[in-house]
Amino acid sequence: MESIRGKMSLELDFNGLKDRLANYNRIILDLGTGDGRYTRYLADKNPDWFIIGVDACRENLRKHSQAKLHNMLFLIASAQDLPRELNGLVSHITINFPWGSLLESLLADDPLLMRGLESISRESASVDLRLNGGALAEVGTTLEAGAERIYSNMLQGGWQVETPALMKASALRTFPSTWAKRLAFGRDPRAMTLNGHMK
Ligand X SMILES: C[S@@+](CC[C@H](N)C(=O)[O-])C[C@H]1O[C@@H](n2cnc3c(N)ncnc32)[C@H](O)[C@@H]1O
Residues lying near ligand X in the complex (CB under 6 A): 32-34, 38, 55-57, 78-80, 96-102, 177-180
Between 21 and 56, name the residue whose CB sits nearer to ligand X.
56
Between 32 and 164, name the residue whose CB sits nearer to ligand X.
32
Q: How far is CA 102 from the centre of its chain?
A: 10
Q: How far is the CB of 76 from ligand X (least distance, A)?
A: 9
Between 46 and 178, name the residue whose CB sits nearer to ligand X.
178
3-state secondary structure 8-75: EEEECCHHHHHHHHCCCCEEEEEECCCCCHHHHHHHHHCCCEEEEEEECCCHHHCCHHHCCCCCEEEE
Q: How far is the CB of 148 from ligand X (least distance, A)?
A: 20
CA dist 69 and 42 (Å) reads: 11
Between 19 and 138, name the residue whose CB sits nearer to ligand X.
138
Q: How far is the CB of 14 from ligand X (least distance, A)?
A: 21
CA dist 57 and 32 (Å) reads: 9
Return the residue nearest ligand X (CB atom): 34
Q: How far is the CB of 27 from ligand X (least distance, A)?
A: 18
